[in-house]
Structure 1
Amino acid sequence: MENELIEGLLEEIHQFRLFADSIDYRDCYAWECNYDGWGDIYRLFEAVLSGVAADRVSGHVLEQMVYIIARDNEPEHLIDVLPGYPEWFGILCRHSLHMDEPEARWQFADRLPRAEVTNGCRRCIIRFLEDEDEYVSRRALLVLPRIMPGKVEAYADLFWNRRKYSGELEQYQKLAVLTALKEAGSPQWTKYARLVGQGDEEWLRLAAAGCGPQDVRP
């Protein structure tokens, strides 16, 4: 029965890959949503979670599951069911660290506070914070107050001053700093808010004034 569930899921993922290979999706936002077979993927993915022990599947299966989580980055259905299966969440979360799938990594970072995983898995947040992908690192900083609140101020300083990104992405990083400090109740929020100047985006200036939206994707 376990093999049948896994093989069924792998076949559905294979069908999705055929779809992905058949279209020119590079200039098409949320192209994955155009696939008609998501219902079957969702059904079999959850069947595997509930019917197969996470420590009994191969690295190949884990790779395929992380891949399809990454492609489900708009509805986010797959990542939303994972916290209900802590062992699966932990194994897939750690596996995502070794794959070139930033669309999966930011989802795992975002759901870490909701998953009842081991302390070892929760420490994956540090890897996500230091991720080379700007959005992964930003989403990790936003949940840091709920995982390691004592580290928020140190990472706030790193994010604010590293000058790693240009233009709007740098502004997003600063907004994440203000948002994380505010959630952590840090007195450092005032310090960084005062660093926001007239040359910054209006939404960042509003956030620094304490009256702007906290959405990190304006």
Structure 2
Amino acid sequence: MTDEPSKQFGIAETRLVEAVTAFRNWADCYPVNQRSGEWECDYDEWRSITSAFAAFLDSSDPELWNASTTEMLLYILARDNEMEMLKRELITRPGYLLALARAALHSTERDARWQLADALGSVELTAGEVEPLLAQLFHDGDEYVSRRALLALARRRSNEAEPLAVRAWCTEHEYQRMAALEALSACRSPLLQSYLDLAESDGRQYLVNFANELRSKQACEENE
């Protein structure tokens, strides 16, 4: 890095650290018993965070990120789990998204992991770059992260989507089964019809309703 880019990186990093620190200070004062739902959205300076986040990405190279920097990026991404503005910034910079997703595999920031999994389903990167990461995120210990990774694979029409959808079904978790149906539908799997029938046999309300929605969608597509 020459002096000028290095200087720009330093300025952008300082600005992001200040923005994230300001959020941390605000969050520390937020009553714990009121931290539910979209509480992070009450912060007034998300635009400043988003601007600093984007400027930092544009002035840096993932190879320059140390553990502290990566932890900060994942922390603030996780806090932006409702508006998802930072996720959108990463989607426009696929290389940075990929680097942060790799770093997130062992992160405790669950709300960063699922956003990164979802984002990986929306970028034009090669299957070899993205799909192994999504397969690892499918095996995440958090059910929601796993579910979003499966749906991202399905959006990419990955060959991994069908067998992983079957694995999701076998967990017997209702939402995992709903994701399995959605994944089979998205990748136009010949297994879909038999799993729609299995959903009817399962009998749980949300799963049955979702299966019926997919049947209706299927019927509409066939009549077009």
Q: Same fold judged by TM-score > 0.5?
A: yes
Partner of 1:10: 17
83 and 207 in structure 1: CA distance in 2 versus 1, 3 angstrom threshold: same
Aligned-pair distance for 1:198?
6.2
Equivalences, count:
206
> Separation in 2 of the partners of 1:211 and 1:67?
41
Which residue in the other structure is 2:110 paired with? 102
Contact 2:105-2:113 within 8 A present in 1 as well: yes
From 34, 39, 43, give the equivalent of 1:35: 43
The answer to whether 1:76 aligns with 2:84 is yes
What does residue 152 of structure 1 align with? 161
Equivalent residue, structure 1, for 2:141: 132
Instruction: Choose 1 or 2 for highest CA Rg.
Output: 2
Q: CA RMSD in A?
A: 1.9
Q: Tell me the TM-score normalised to structure 2 length.
A: 0.85
Superposed CA deviations along residues 44-85 of structure 1, whole A, max 9, x for unmatched, are 111111122222222211110111001000000001111221
Tell me the TM-score normalised to structure 1 length. Answer: 0.87
Matched, 1:188 2:184: no
Q: CA deviation at 1:136?
A: 0.5
Equivalent position of 2:216 in the other structure: 211
Amino acid paired to 2:48: D
Distance 1:69 1:36 in 2: 16
CA distance in 1, matches of 2:168, 2:76: 30
Q: Following TM superposition, by how much is the alpha carbon of 1:157 offset from its aligned partner in structure 2, in angstroms?
A: 1.9
> For residues 68 and 157 of structure 2, what CA distance do their matches in structure 1 show?
32
After TM superposition, the runs of 4+ consecutive aligned structure 1 residues lying more than 4 A away are none
Pick from 21, 30, 43 the counterpart of residue 23 of structure 1.
30
Cα distance in 2 for partners of 1:135, 1:51 equals 33
CA positional deviation for 1:201: 3.5
Q: Which runs of 5+ in 1 are unaligned?
A: 164-169, 213-218
Residue 24 to residue 202, structure 1, CA distance change in 2 (3 Å): same
Higher deviation after alignment, 129-138 or 82-91: 82-91
Instruction: Determine which structure has the larger helix proportion and give its number.
Output: 2
Which of 160, 175, 184 aligns to 1:172? It is: 175
